[in-house]
């Protein structure tokens, strides 16, 4: 129902992170059922916070499309690893298979115990646990992903129509096929199938047709893994068969309980051992992905460094025309995105100038006595294309080397107020200036400084300070 892309998540002040972006196919985006499923995946996955679950970071809607932003993990699916293992003739070590299954069970338990904002249980059931939805990374950790067809309280009717079965038939629990009930025990059954196949290197339920496959899931005999791999421990057989019990009274009621039994009965492989196994089977692909991620990150590093340099005052403002700068074809910036970045840089330059002036004025008041008020003519708006004012020049102006005269003189040239300042309206005739009183002294004090900075970072002049 979606395609997964590489992406870069850009934050403020140059922060950036490589992410995975799931993009819903256009034909599904027009289907209300799939649209609901896609959004529910984000809502439910965001409530599950666990190291063995892929985290959902954001949902973005743009021009009729939906994008699910998830954390990027250098990992490959368990299904891919099992295929590579069959090709190489190297069956996964039992400790590695058990360690992966234990991670999956821990992640599922976190989903089963997830709550809503008020602390009420969500009763999440993944309903699609399979090797395709398990990622195993070079760090040796296994993570569950794709809660797109999960069932939770209050939304079953919106996603599952009556009589409609969802999931992969070969990994369904019997009660899921018959629509009797779907609980967390259904996920345990599916996870036990995954463990059985990882231990043996074979498929547990196979058939030539879907109807025959469903019949096997419902009634076929399930042999212990040791019938295929005799060296497996009897304790491991007992754990797997209990997880595959069709009788709900016999099957594990908690994924955490099954994971605990695996930890106590079998020597689980360490994270480094699992990581080495992944590297051995999928090292080339992981290296290609790492190179691709490095290429993407390097493409944005120069721009991020440019923004950082501007914010720190070490670099001049960038020119708007960048047509002469070479850009890799694979990362050509669309015109819309380029314009957005240009506006961002202009805004940051203007904000930087305001913050710098305010900081310098405060420092002058603290360390050098009361600073002289800034003259209105010196508070010129920063042009988007203007080069930033040097720190020495700003310091000279703020320090008061050009102080404002205490009273206007007939020979002083008229100072034009800034364009942004909204001056008070006057009548046709101007009255003579009244002698200074206590009120005028208070007004003069309030005009030091003759401006203020609003909540958006804009410099606003006080009209009463410019008679």
Which are the catalytic amino acids?
Answer: 128
Return the structure tokens found at 338. Answer: 């380029």
Closest CA to 463 of 451, 454, 448: 451
Contact 135, 78 (CB under 8 A): yes
User: Nearest to residue 251, comparing CAs of 150, 163, 181?
Assistant: 181
* Angle (nearest 5°) at CA 147 between 146 and 153: 180
* Residue 285 to residues 3, 138, 218, 290, 291, Cα–Cα distance (Å): 18, 11, 38, 9, 10
Contact 436, 467 (CB under 8 A): no
Tokens standing for residue 95: 């400790």
Strands 459-461 and 134-137: unpaired
Please list, in sequence order, all residues whose beta carbon lies within 8 angstroms of the beta carbon of residue 161, skipping any fewer than 6 positions away.
Answer: 33
Give CA–CA dist 378/450, Å, rounded. Answer: 12
Structure tokens at 328: 């890799």
Helix (H, G, I), strand (E, B) or coil at 196: helix
CB 95 within 8 A of CB 266: yes
Looking at the DSSP bridge assignments, the partners of residue 70 are: 20, 56
And the tokens for 177?
Answer: 């096929």
Q: Tokens at residue 279, please?
A: 């590297």
- Given a contact cutoff of 8 angstroms between Cβ atoms, the answer to whether 311 and 352 are in contact is yes
Three-state helix/strand/coil letters over 136-147: EECCCCEEECCC
Angle ∠(31,35,39) on CA atoms, nearest 5: 175
185 closest CA partner among 120, 106, 250: 250
């Amino acid at each position: 129902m979606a395609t997964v892309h590489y992406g870069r998540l850009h934050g403020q002040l140059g922060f950036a992170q490589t992410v995975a972006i799931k993009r819903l196919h256009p034909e599904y985006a027009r289907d209300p059922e799939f649209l609901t499923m896609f959004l529910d995946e984000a809502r439910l996955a965001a409530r599950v916070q666990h190291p063995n679950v892929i985290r959902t970071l954001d949902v973005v809607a743009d021009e009729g499309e939906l994008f699910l932003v998830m954390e990027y993990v250098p990992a490959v699916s368990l299904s891919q690893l099992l295929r590579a293992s069959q090709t190489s003739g190297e069956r996964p070590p039992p400790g590695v298979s058990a360690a992966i299954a234990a991670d999956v069970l821990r992640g599922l338990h976190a989903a089963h115990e997830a709550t809503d904002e008020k602390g009420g249980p969500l009763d999440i059931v993944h309903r699609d646990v399979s090797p395709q939805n398990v990622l195993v990374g070079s760090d040796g950790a296994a993570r569950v992903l794709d809660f797109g067809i999960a069932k939770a309280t209050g939304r079953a009717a919106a996603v599952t129509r009556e009589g409609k079965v969802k999931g992969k038939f070969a990994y369904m629990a019997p009660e899921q096929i018959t629509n009797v009930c779907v609980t967390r025990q259904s996920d345990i059954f599916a996870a036990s199938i995954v463990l059985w196949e990882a231990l043996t290197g074979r498929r547990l339920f196979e058939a030539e047709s879907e109807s025959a496959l469903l019949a096997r899931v419902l009634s076929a005999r399930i042999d212990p893994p040791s019938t295929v791999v005799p060296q497996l421990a009897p304790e491991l057989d007992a754990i797997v068969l209990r997880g595959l019990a069709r009788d709900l009274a016999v099957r594990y009621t908690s994924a955490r309980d099954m994971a605990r039994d695996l930890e106590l009965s079998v020597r689980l492989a360490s994270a480094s051992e699992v990581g080495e196994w992944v590297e051995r089977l999928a090292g080339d692909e992981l290296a290609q992905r790492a190179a691709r991620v490095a290429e993407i990150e390097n493409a944005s590093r120069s721009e991020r460094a440019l923004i950082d340099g501007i914010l720190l005052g070490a670099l001049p403002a960038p020119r708007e025309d960048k047509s002469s700068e070479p850009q890799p074809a694979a990362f050509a910036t669309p015109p819309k995105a380029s314009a957005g970045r240009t506006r961002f840089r202009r805004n940051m330059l203007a904000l930087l100038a305001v913050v710098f002036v305010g900081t310098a004025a405060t420092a002058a008041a603290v360390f050098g006595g009361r600073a002289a008020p800034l003259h209105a003519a010196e508070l010129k708006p920063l042009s988007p294309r203007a080069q930033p004012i040097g720190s020495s020049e700003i310091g000279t102006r703020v320090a008061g080397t050009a102080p404002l005269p205490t009273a206007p003189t007939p020979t002083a040239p008229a100072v034009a107020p800034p364009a942004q300042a909204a001056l008070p309206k006057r009548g046709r005739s101007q009255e003579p200036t009244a002698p200074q009183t206590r009120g005028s002294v208070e007004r003069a004090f309030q005009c030091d400084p003759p401006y203020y900075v609003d909540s958006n970072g804009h410099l606003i002049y006080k009209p009463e300070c410019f008679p």
